[in-house]
């Protein structure tokens, strides 16, 4: 099991890098299995005014995290908001970051698709409107719209509806679009047990026909949406697939990855 020493967090934007060994940094970075970008929150203490002038909304921001000798990307997104406030003698800057571009205004008036159009064709065209690369596309069923299809409104909602017809999840992760089942894909299997960072005892849940466990581990950058987990614990041992969760990091407090994983 990794201990809490050797924590590494690096926040990078506009050619600048802020490391936890030099700055007090805290953050929460969520991930899930829907196509709307998640918003992360990062706090950095006592930045200079000159530095703050270069941290701007709309700019790319990345976060690497892990332990000395083993770090990886946990966030690649766009700054949505920057605010600085004083707390006693400390100046704390809160940066909010979307893990994709703001897609709420990406809408189409109406596109009529011909009879027998496949869901995959609609998804591929809609993806061009949101401007995100498709990292994986593996439909459980390529649904055929025998009576045609009318696409209208928010592009992310159209993609969600078509993916649902195809029995497939879709989500945005680290600036890329994934269309695939949580249980299928080219994912590295991560073995999670008390020796590799499992914290506490998994808690079972049953919701909307899904069964699984809420898990907590020491921060692990490899774990994100659709990660395959080989869990070994007192309450359950077997394969799970991550549906949602978050990475939380602080200098001396929480440094963990929490996840909701389905059987």
Q: What is the pLDDT of residues 33-79, one digit of tens each?
A: 888 889 999 999 999 999 999 999 999 999 999 999 999 999 999 99
Which residues lie across from 221 on neighbouring strands?
A: none
Is the pLDDT assigned to residue 217 strictly greater than 60?
A: yes
Q: List pLDDT tens digits, range 163-206.
A: 999 999 899 888 788 999 888 655 668 999 999 999 999 999 99
pLDDT(105) > 80: no
Strands across the sheet containing 176-180: 134-138, 176-180, 169-173
Stated pTM of the model: 0.87
With contact defined as beta carbons under 8 Å apart, do 245 and 28 qualify?
Answer: no
Domains identified in the chain and CATH numbers: 107-180 (3.55.50.30)
User: Of 142, 209, 149, whose CA–CA distance to 179 is shortest?
Assistant: 142
Lowest model confidence (mean pLDDT) among 18-22, 133-137, 259-263: 133-137
Give the residue among 168, 188, 164 at the shortest CA–CA distance from 180.
168
Exposure of 118 in the CB half-sphere (CA atoms within 13 A):
7
Cα–Cα–Cα angle for 4, 97, 68, nearest 5°? 25
């Amino acid at each position: 099991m990794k201990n809490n020493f050797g924590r590494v967090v690096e926040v990078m934007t506009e050619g600048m890098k802020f490391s936890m060994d030099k700055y007090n940094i805290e953050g929460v970075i969520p991930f899930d299995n829907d196509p709307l970008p998640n918003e992360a929150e990062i706090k950095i203490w006592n930045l200079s005014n000159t530095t703050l002038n270069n941290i701007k909304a709309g700019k790319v921001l990345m976060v690497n995290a892990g332990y000395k000798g083993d770090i990886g990307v946990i966030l690649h997104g766009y700054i949505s908001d920057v605010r600085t406030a004083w707390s006693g003698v400390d100046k704390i800057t809160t940066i909010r970051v979307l893990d994709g571009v703001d897609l709420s205004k990406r809408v189409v008036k109406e596109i009529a698709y011909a009879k027998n159009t496949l869901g995959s064709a609609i998804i591929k065209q809609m993806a061009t409107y949101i401007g995100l690369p498709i990292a994986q596309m593996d439909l459980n069923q390529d649904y055929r719209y025998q009576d045609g299809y009318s696409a209208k409104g928010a592009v992310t909602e159209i993609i969600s509806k078509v993916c649902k017809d195809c029995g497939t999840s879709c989500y945005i992760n680290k600036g890329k679009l994934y269309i695939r089942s949580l249980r299928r894909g080219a994912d590295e299997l991560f073995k999670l047990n008390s020796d590799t960072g499992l914290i506490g005892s998994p808690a079972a849940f049953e919701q909307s026909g899904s069964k699984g466990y809420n898990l907590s581990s020491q921060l692990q950058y490899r774990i994100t949406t659709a990660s395959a987990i080989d869990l070994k614990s007192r309450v359950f041992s077997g394969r799970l697939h991550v549906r949602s969760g978050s990475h939380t990091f602080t200098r001396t407090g929480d440094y963990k990855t929490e996840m909701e994983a389905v059987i």
